[in-house]
Structure formats: C-alpha cells, structure tokens
Chain A
Amino acid sequence: MAGAREIRTKIKSVANTRKVTRALEMVSASKIRKAQDLMKASRPYARLMRQVIGHIAHANVEFQHPFLVERKDVKRVGYVIVSTDRGLCGGLNSNMFRKLLGEIRGWQDKGVEVDVVCIGQKATQFFRRLKVNMLGSVTHLGEKPQIAQLIGVIKVVLDAYTDGRIDRLHLAYNDFVNTMTQKATVDTLLPLPPSPELATTHAWDYIYEPDAATVLEHVLTRYIESLVYQSVLENLASEHAARMVAMKSASDNATKAIGSLTLVYNKARQAAITQEISEIVGGAAAV
C-alpha cells in the first residue's frame, strides 16, 4: 500500500491548491464589480473635460498649446505603461509587454530612443531589465487607486514633453472589454489626437479668468491625468477579470487532476487487495 499512500498525499496537496485557487477566483469576482464601478464613476469627468477642451481649442485657433501640436522630427518617444502589481492573472501583462516590445523595437530600428514610465510592480520589474530609460515609476496603488498617487509620474513625463526631451507620448494598458476579454492597448497621449468634439463649430467664446493660455494649460494637464487615471482603472478591472478566469481554469484543472489521481489510487488499492487475497489463497493451497 506504499504507492497508495503516496497518491493520497498527492491528492490532498492538489485539493489544498484547489482551495487557494477557488478563494482567489471568488475574491477577484467580487473585486471586478468594484473596479467597474470606479471606472464608470470616472467617466463623466473625462467627457466633460473633452467638451471644455473642444470649446477652448476651437474658440482660440490662433493659440496653439504644445500638447496639441504634432512635432515633425521625433527623436525620443515616451511610454506610460500601466501594469498590475501582482501576478497570477494569466497572460495579461506578458501580452501587453510583448506588444510594447514590438513597438519599442520598431522605434529603435528607426534610431528613435525610448523612455518609459512604469505604473505597477510588474512593468517596473520587467522594464528595469531592458535597455530603455526609466523616467519614473509608481507601484502599489491598491484596490482604490487615487489620482494623487499618479500626479508624480505624470508630471515627470509631461515635463519631459514640455522641455522637448520626448516628442511623443503613448499610454499602454489593458482595456477592459468584458470579463472574458481584455485587450492590450497602446494609445497616443501627446500630441493630443483631434477628437470629434474638437471638430464641432462654436460661434462663441468664454470669458477667461485669468487668461486662455493659463486655463488651457491647466485643463490639458488635468485631462492627461484623467486619461492615465482611467487607464489605471481599466487595467485594474482587467487584472481581476483575467485573474478570475485564470484561477477558474486552475480550479477546474485541479478537479480533473484529483479525478484521475483518485482513479489511480483506487486501482492501486484494488491491486493490493487482489494480491493479498491471492497470497492467502496460495498459502491455503500450499497447506
């Protein structure tokens, strides 16, 4: 019965693993809801902000903010990379990193240098091993990220852009499509791509206090911050969804493994019993 005992220990250990994956799955399932609520709550801000920018940009055609102007000669690009802090979420981070590496390689082949800013432990760990310049990093944002936690990293890249140290800025994150699908996405942050709202015509202008340039600068900075903040929330929802799916399949696999191990165990037990009986019978026959 030595083999049978080993198998029983194995079954127990798989069952324990299943307990952990089940628990993780359920935790993630409940956290998705909260993350989605956060995502929804942050949407009106970005929408209203886009309207305001549209109005200002249209009312002041003569005034061009650097954030809105495309630079012809691109020598350096920046990436804001949003990742998770923890693993066990399937291929969520690696899928995005792979997409990013493709892009970074494309830039490097053209002789353009790449700067990165990392949000989340996974991106920081991954990109610190690369030959790219890391401008800033922030980790451990928690379950309810706040915009205050992101001000620092955003300021670093925006300053770099204003000073001309980078000529383009991209934002990489996992877009939450639904619980089953998360899409690794790379968006352009700067120069701000013209949105449909920017194209609408307005026959009026604001009264500015103190003046248009100051207000526009302020609004644009806040807008970029809200975009990054939103992508952090999207990524958070994606993280929980991906983890839930990964843990669900892990639990299923554990159940299957337990099934086949039980089968092996029963066979071993049966074999032992059969052997014992035949030994007894053989012994009796000898007497």
Chain B
Amino acid sequence: MSTIRCDIVSAEEEIFHGQAQMVIATGEMGELGIAPRHAPLITRLKPGQVRVQLENGEEQFFYVSGGILEVQPQVVTVLADTAIRARDLDEAAARTAKDEAERALANRTDALEVAQAQAQLAQAMAQLQALERLRRSLKH
C-alpha cells in the first residue's frame, strides 16, 4: 500500500510528521481528501480538523485554526495557524499596536535628534568599555 508523507507544522512547533494513507482537511472551497500521488494543489484551510490516516489504519486528529495546505505527489504539508485569524480580529490587533505606540509617545519629554542619541549611546558604550578595561587590568 502506497503512502504519502505528511508534515503538519505551525510557526511555533512541529505538530506531526510521518507517513499517511490519506490526509483529510477542510479547505476554503470544501473538504479535501489527499491520497498518495495527488496532483500538486495549494489552498487555504478553514478552521477545523485535519485527519491523518496512518499506515496501520489508525486515525489521528489535529485541530487547526486556519492555515495553508500544500500538496505535492509525495508530500502533504499543512502550515497551520496557531492563532484564530479573522479580518476584524487582525484589525483590532493592529489598532492595539498603534495605541501602544501612541501611549509610548504621549509621555515623551522632548524629541531627540538622531545625532544626539548617537552621541549619548557612544558615551554609554565608552563607559562600558572603560569598565571592561578596568576589570581586565584589575585581573592582572
């Protein structure tokens, strides 16, 4: 019985990899069953289950909250999202990030020129280096 390699990964971890008889997932356009030697295909996944039928007939279930399914004749790759994604949720997250920046800027005392900051940093670095040198000379 022929099998197909199946990799399920998310940005945060490797979820599954191994040989499978069949991989079943919910694509954007409907349910997909991927058997070995399937034609190359790529689709977005809807939140739902990914079912992997292993060689010994056992089935494993994985929940994905979206992602991408890529199929090549010998490999199925599921690039799973870990977070629940939706347009308005993303918008809200973006707004939070902007607010955070505005809050940070709100209590700034005065805007510093880049050159000034550079000078201040150089000073700090020089102090650090001097300390380091002092430490070394103490060692001897």
List residues of chain A with CB under 8 Å of any chain B CB. Answer: 38, 41-42, 44-46, 48-49, 52, 56, 90-91, 94-95, 97-98, 101-102, 104-105, 108, 117-118, 124-126, 128-132, 134-139, 146-148, 151-153, 155-156, 159, 204-210, 214-215, 218-219, 222, 225-226, 229, 249, 253, 256
Q: Are B42 and A153 in contact (CB-based, < 8 A)?
A: no
- B91 and chain A: residue at smallest CB distance: A155
Q: Which residues of B contact A126 (CB under 8 A)?
A: 117
Is B44 a contact of A214 with CB atoms below 8 Å? yes
Chain B's interface size range is 35 or more
CB contacts (< 8 Å) of A52 on chain B: these are 42, 68, 70, 77, 79
Least CB distance, B45 to chain A, in whole angstroms? 10
Q: How far is the CB of A113 from chain B (nearest CB, A)?
A: 12
B11–A226 touching, CB < 8 Å: yes
* A residues near B59, Cβ cutoff 8 Å: none
Q: Which B residues are in CB contact (< 8 Å) with A117?
A: 97, 101
Are A105 and B115 within 8 A (Cβ)? yes
Chain B residues within 8 Å of A97, by CB: 117, 121
Q: Indicate if the CB atoms of B11 and A147 lie closer than 8 Å.
A: yes
Contact A209 B41 (CB under 8 A): yes
Q: B109 to chain A: which residues have CB within 8 Å? A: 129
Query: Judging by beta carbons under 8 Å apart, are A134 and B40 in contact?
Result: no
Residues on A with C-beta less than 8 A from B124 are: 94
- Pick from B12, B81, B108: contact of A41, CB under 8 Å: B12
